[in-house]
Amino acid sequence: MSKVEQLLIKRRCVMLKEPRSKFMFLMIVILFVIIFAGAFVIKASAAGKGDAEAGKKIYAGKCSLCHGAAGKGDGPAGASTNPKATNFTDKAKMTKSDDELFKIISDGSKGTAMMGYAGSISEQERWDLVAYIRSLSK
């Protein structure tokens, strides 16, 4: 081992023994832990915004006419729309995120018969619908 390599190794060991270096290392570790933990908390809170049981009641009154009682897109009004009402039980078609579903429920969907409900039901009720609709494809 050359003298330069020995000096570098010695310097690194000294740096880790210095209080300031230990403090900075600890702060960096804590920062990464907070960032990763925060990402999991945000994802969990987004998943828990709605109540599927409450959404089921709203769905029966607002959505089943087009999407059908079981969410298969076979409601009496949905049969005559072009394109047909979405089948919420088909996992392949249910690839949208909860935020995307919420936006469609709120604002409607261009080029379809789906109208927006932002003006007629509360934000919480729309999240409840998202939770219930999501449960249909499980």
pLDDT tops 70 at residue 18: no
pLDDT score for 10: 63
pLDDT score for 100: 95
Q: What percent of the chain lies above the pLDDT cut of 90?
A: 59
Exposed, middle or buried, 42 (CB in 10 Å: 0-12/13-18/19+)? exposed
User: Could you state, in order of their start, the residue ranges of all structural domains in the chain?
Assistant: 3-47, 52-136
Would you state the structure tokens that stand for residue 14, as one six-digit string?
């000294």
Exposed, middle or buried, 50 (CB in 10 Å: 0-12/13-18/19+)? buried
pLDDT score for 45: 47
Q: Against a cut of 0.75, is the pTM above it?
A: no
The residue type found at 65 is L
CA 107 to chain centre: 18
Higher pLDDT, 54 or 22: 54
- pLDDT category at 109 given cuts 50, 70, 90 is very high
CA distances from 61 to 11, 68, 69, 70, 99 (A): 72, 11, 10, 13, 22
pLDDT score for 138: 82
Residue 92: CB atoms within 10 A of its CB come to 7
122-131 tens-digit pLDDT: 999 999 999 9
Q: Is 93 helix (H, G, I), strand (E, B) or coil?
A: coil
CATH of 52-136, one of 1.25.40.10, 3.40.30.10, 2.160.10.10, 1.10.760.10: 1.10.760.10
pLDDT score for 16: 53
